[in-house]
Amino acid sequence: MSAIAPALPIQAPEITLSELADALALQLRRLAEGPLLVVGHSYAGMLLPQLAIELVDRITALVYLDAFVPLQGESAFDLLGPFGEELRSIARANAGMIPSPSPAQLGIVDPAQSAEVAHRLVPMPASTHESAATECALAPALPRSLYVRCAGFPGFEHQETRAREAGWDVGRLPAGHDAMLVDPSGVAAVILKVLQEQ
């Protein structure tokens, strides 16, 4: 099994959720062959339902890693509730851009790793959070979906609840939001464990 991490044009002005999903589908077609297990972290959960439709013949499972689980017509701002309104205001005062969080907010405490990650964090256009999902993450026609909750980070509890109520398999990690950087082996282990339980 091999892994790839496509780069997306998230800083392009006014880019939408649908355009990001199209860009991701294009990269996966170019970079990967055969069946795909796609992991979407955080905002990337917004892309997974559309991506699954575009790559219906390739994707065998979707993993939402501490990620949004959108219904059709919902935006990331919608799913963030009151905090989404706060981010809207921040973006208006910041030329339409949502500032990136600090490494510490994402659960990264090691100084060397924090310094490395800080250089890679970039603001996102508010348009990515304003545009609504064109597909529903809970649609029965989509591939098998599972949710992995990073319990050390507040804010995605309602997404975990939505996944559980939909009957998805759910795993948990005692880590911050960026668990794939702090504990990559733990993330892989919980995904494999959940997959093997079926």
Evaluate whether residue 111 is within a structural domain: yes
Evaluate whether residue 122 is within a structural domain: yes
pLDDT recorded at residue 40: 94
End-to-end CA distance of the chain: 19
β pairing state of 97-98 and 169-173: unpaired
List, in order, residues 6 or more apart from 169 with CB less than 8 Å away.
146, 147, 194, 197, 198
Token pair, residue 30, equals: 């170019």
Evaluate whether residue 5 is within a structural domain: no
pLDDT recorded at residue 196: 79
Instruction: Report residue 6's pLDDT band, with 50, 70 and 90 as the boundaries.
Output: confident
pLDDT digits (tens, 9 = 90+) for 78-118: 999 999 999 999 999 999 999 999 999 999 999 999 999 99
Query: Which amino acid appears at position 154 of this protein?
Result: P
When divided into structural domains, the chain yields a total of: 1
pLDDT recorded at residue 1: 57
pLDDT digits (tens, 9 = 90+) for 8-62: 766 677 888 999 899 999 999 888 888 889 999 999 999 999 999 999 999 999 9
Token pair, residue 74, equals: 């919902």
Greatest Cα pair distance, the chain, in angstroms, is 48
Evaluate whether residue 10 is within a structural domain: no
Evaluate whether residue 3 is within a structural domain: no
pLDDT recorded at residue 2: 66
Evaluate whether residue 35 is within a structural domain: yes
Distance CA 94, CA 111 (A): 28
- Answer with the residue of higher pLDDT: 155 or 167: 167
Per cent of the chain over pLDDT 90 is 73
Question: Which range marks the domain in which residue 176 is found?
Answer: 17-196
Evaluate whether residue 7 is within a structural domain: no
> Is residue 198 scored above 60 in pLDDT?
no
Please check whether residue 49 is in contact with residue 135, taking contact to mean a CB–CB distance below 8 angstroms: yes
Which CATH number does the domain housing residue 26 bear? Answer: 3.40.50.1820
The 3-state DSSP composition of the chain as helix, strand, coil percent (nearest 5) reads 45, 15, 40
> Is residue 149 scored above 90 in pLDDT?
yes
Evaluate whether residue 8 is within a structural domain: no
Token pair, residue 25, equals: 């589908």
Among the listed residues 9, 11, 7, 44, the one whose alpha carbon sits nearest the alpha carbon of residue 125: 11
